[in-house]
Structures are given as structure tokens and as C-alpha cells.
Amino acid sequence: MSNWLNHQLQAIRLVLARMQDNFLSSFMICLVIGVAMCLPSLFYLGVDNLSKLTDHMQNETEISLFLKLDASKSTVSEIDALLANNAAIKQYHFVGKDEAWEQLQARSKESNEVGDVINQLGKNPLPDAFFIQAKSSDPETLEALRSELQNTPGVEQALLNTEWAKRLSTLLSLSKKLIFFVASLLAVVLLVIIGNTVRMQILTQKDEIEVSYLIGATRSFIRTPFLYAGMLYGFFGGILAILMITGMIQTFNYSVSQISHLYSSDFSLNLLNGKLYLSVIVSAVVIGWVGSYIAVTRAIASIKIH
Amino acid sequence: MIQFDQVTKRYPGSDEVLKNVSLNIDAGEFVFVTGHSGAGKSTLLKLIAATERPTSGTVLIANQNVSQLKASAIPFLRRRFGLIFQDHKLLYDRNCFENVILPLRINGIFGQEAAKRVRAALDKVGLLHKEKAMPITLSGGEQQRLAIARAVVSRPSILIADEPTGNLDASYAADIMAIFYAFNQVGVTVIMATHDALGMSARQNRVLHLNQGKLSENISTAESFAS
């Protein structure tokens, strides 16, 4: 056991020393890995934050229930009772047609053109309306509630204000699938890059491999340092990727906070996404291991000792 | 210790390099393998060191049949040998100490124990003071001595040397031979391929002579070999 551990430590030390000797080229490889890891991560972060934003918006949505223009007072109170008894509704409020008309007129005074048009209308075109907030924020439940209300007698139209948010979130889930494919493609690219790098190293250390073989080294003894090399490339590449992502989020957040300030929201990108960072590093290390394993197995098979 | 029974070796696309070779080497022997270039000396040594397998016949090393060994068992068989090559096969990207420690690492020996054994091996070949030197800065004879240090550091019971003095002038060659004799004295089996009589000095040695893949055996002194 301690022998095994010693061997692993020895191999890691050897690989780190070699990386230090060829610092610039090792750094370049790590940089390539970092950039390749960075792209899908940023994409993911963007989509993830956007979908959080739309969730947020969907939470705030309400159903607007417009009654028929000729709805009588009794119809209004019937619907009022119906809404009060509906278990899916958190709260609602009624805006009568006269109240709405006054609000519209008051608001339109600020703009002359709109004010003129409204004055020309002469009589009130607005219906009575209920504005309803549901308990659930789930789009499908909301949609069910909407169609239930739509079928209530005396209702002209029930409008769900989340239509656009729903479309956006559908688009976002599509983007999430796209990320998966982009990430898979980049993983293949990384496999090839790391595999090739390790293959080049094997070529430069062909003598050592040959001599080790003759002296009685096992395959795993020869393989171990190269596997660590691949894993360490992945590890350092992953760390570079995280540094780059953090840097970019920092700059982004500056502009994002300006924008969200304009919309009086406190939205900003999450800087410490531990899960993402961990998965970046773990996947980079795994890709490094697989890439070098393939390369070293192929290379060992091709090195013949005579 | 080493037994060949009717061993034939043929490389793909070549004639038989070894024809029907049978031999028996006991522990503690000092055996020369002689013959012209291409007579099959190197092939014989490779069969002993288990870096090649026989086309037909059996090779027994310490009662293990090499042809029937699993590939995964071969490395452990090889650790019984110390191999010395004509071209040294030193690693020029590291210093003498690091070159000699390689077999110990493969054997799983680390730390103080390893360092102690490396220095002992370097001392035996007279290179203790060159521990930190890079192999490329050494003379031909010193490089060969370094290769011997690497071969003996893991204390193998058999030393196999393929023309260790082939590239060296007479005085260096005598140095090298003296080192091999010293190891043989303490019980190490030495098998050495050579084509020059110089190395064999005046001692009586067992000589395996290969001629176009066929083996003939005689006890020889330098005089009889030269004639």
C-alpha cells in the first residue's frame, strides 16, 4: 500500500517537474483546455440565469379576467363569489369599468396625442375586470385555471400574462439541450488535444519507456505518469476556465447591475456557482485521464523492444 | 538456472537465427557467448532476458517456462536480471544518480534505502563522485560503468551483458571486465556476449560459440581463442 502510494506520489512529482521544465508549452495546453471548458460554461451560465429570471417573472404573473361589456352587477357579484371560493386563487381584486376609465384618462393626460384619441372616444369602451393571482406558478396549472375562468359565463376573455415568459422558457430549455451538444463536441476536441499532447510526450520519452521495460517495469508503472499528466492538464485547464469565467462574470455584473437598476430589479449573475465550478474541474480531469489513457495504451502497444 | 532445450528462433521474414540450441547455465557461472556479427549472440541473450520468445523449443529460467508465462508476469521475471547493452541505453535527460535509481523505483524501493543502494552501486563502479553529473559529460568507459551500476543496483542474480566492451579501448575494457569478475566472485551469474578476445583475459572461462545459429561449446583461454 505504502509502495503504491509512494509510486503515485513519485509519478505526480515527476510530472509536475516536467511541466515546470516546459512551463510555456504546458501553460498553452492548459489554456486551450481552459478556453474550451469556458465556452459551454458561459453559455450554461447565461441560459441558467435567464431561466431563473423568467421563473421569477412567471411568479409575479396574474390572470386578467375581462368581463363582457354588458355584464350586469349581479354577474359581477356571481363571479366575485366564484373567485372567492376557488381554491387555486391566492388573491384577486376587482377594477370596475368606471374606475378603469378614470385611470386611463388620468394617465393619458401626460401624453397629448393619446389624450386626444381617448377624448374622442366619448364613451367608456372598457369592461369590468378582475386581476387574479394564482397560488401556483406552474405554467400548466396557470393555463388550466385560465381556461376554467374563460368558460365562466359573463367572461369575455381571460388573459394569462405569462405567454411570452412561457415561450422564452421553452426556448431556454431548447438552449439547454444545445449546450449539451456543444459541450459534448468540445469534450471530443479536448480528448483529441490531450491525447495528442500525451502522445508527443511519450515520443520524447520513448527511451525511458524502452529502458524501463527492459528493466522490468510493468505496463501500469509506465502508464501512471502519463495518466497523471493528462489529469493535471485537465485540472489546471479547469482552474484557468474558472478564472476566466469569474473574470467575465465580474465584468458582466457591472453592466447587468446597471441594466437591472433601470428596471428596478436587483438581478445579478451569481458569481460563486460551486456546482458549475466543480463539474468543470471534474469533467476536465476525467477528459484528461481518458485522453491520455487512450494515447498511452496505443503508444505502448506500438513501442516494440528488441 | 537457465535451460535451453532445442530452441529455434526465427524472426518474421528471416532465416533461423538460432538452430536447435540446447544449453544449461548454472548459478554462479561466468559464460561468454562468442561468434561473428549476425551469428545469433544478441538473440540468445534476448531469449534469456525474456525480451524475445522462442519460435520452438523451451526456455526455462529459474524453472519457469518463458513461452508459457503470461505477458503480465514477464516484467517480474525481468527484474531477476541486470541488463547491460553495448549502447548503454542511458537516459540523457537526468543525472547519474537518477539513472541508477530507475530500477529501484520500478521495484518499489524509495527514500533513504534507495539512495543508499544507488550510492553503493555507484561506488562499486567507481563513479560515486560523479553522482550529480549528466551522463553526456562522461567518457565512454564511464558511461558503460554507469550502465553497470544501473544493472546491479537492484541486486539481480544474473547479469546479462551484450558486448559491454565493444566500443571501448583496451584499458577501459579491462576496467569493465574487472568489475564483472568482481560481481561473479560474489556469486552473480554473468552471461556476456563478446567478439573480442581481450576481455576474456587469461582466465579459464566457459565459452558458448555461435556459428550461423549453431552452438558449439568449449572451455577457452585467451590463447586458444586467439588462435
- In order, the DSSP letters of B16-58 are EEEEEEEEEE-TT-EEEEE--TTSSHHHHHHHHTTSS--SEEE
A10, A214, A218 ranked by CB distance to B110: nearest: A10
ipTM: 0.82
Is residue B59 situated within a structural domain? no
Helix A2-21 vs helix A23-59: angle between axes, to the nearest 10 degrees?
A: 100
B105 part of contact set with chain A, CB < 8 Å: yes
Is residue B63 situated within a structural domain? no
B62 part of contact set with chain A, CB < 8 Å: no
**Among candidate residues A174, A144, A173, A138, the one with its CA nearest the CA of residue A55:** A138
Is residue B19 situated within a structural domain? no
Question: Alpha-carbon distance A54 to A60, whole Å?
Answer: 10
Is residue B80 situated within a structural domain? yes
Domain span holding position B188 = 26-48+74-226
Q: Which residue has the higher pLDDT, B131 or A119?
A: B131
Contact B149, B125 (CB under 8 A): yes
- Contact across the interface for A10 and B49, Cβ inside 8 Å: no
pLDDT in tens, chain B (227 residues): 899 999 999 988 888 889 899 999 999 999 999 888 888 888 999 899 888 889 999 999 888 898 888 888 888 888 889 999 888 889 998 899 999 999 998 888 888 999 999 999 999 889 999 999 999 999 888 999 999 999 999 999 999 999 888 777 888 888 888 889 999 999 999 999 987 655 555 566 788 888 888 888 776 554 444 43
For residue A6, the chain B residues in CB contact (below 8 A) are 108, 110-111
Is residue B143 situated within a structural domain? yes
B73 part of contact set with chain A, CB < 8 Å: no
How many domains does the structure of chain B reveal?
1
- Contact across the interface for B108 and A3, Cβ inside 8 Å: yes
Q: Nearest 5°: phi and psi at B30?
A: -120, 110
Domain boundaries, chain A: 2-57+166-302, 62-161
For residue A207, the chain B residues in CB contact (below 8 A) are 89, 91-92
Contact A142, A134 (CB under 8 A): yes
Cα-to-chain-centroid distance, residue A3: 45
B83, B91, B105 ranked by CB distance to A214: nearest: B83
For residue B77, the chain A residues in CB contact (below 8 A) are 216
Is residue B53 situated within a structural domain? no
Question: What topology is assigned to A62-161 in CATH?
Answer: Alpha-Beta Plaits (3.30.70)
Residue B88 sits in a domain whose CATH number is 3.40.50.300
Chain A and chain B share a number of CB contacts under 8 A equal to 56
Which helix (H) or strand (E) segment holds residue B179: the answer is: helix B170-185
Is pTM beyond 0.95? Reply is: no
Q: Would you place residue A28 in the very low, low, confident or very high pLDDT band (cuts 50, 70, 90)?
A: very high
pLDDT tens digits, one per residue of A126-141: 888 888 877 776 767 7
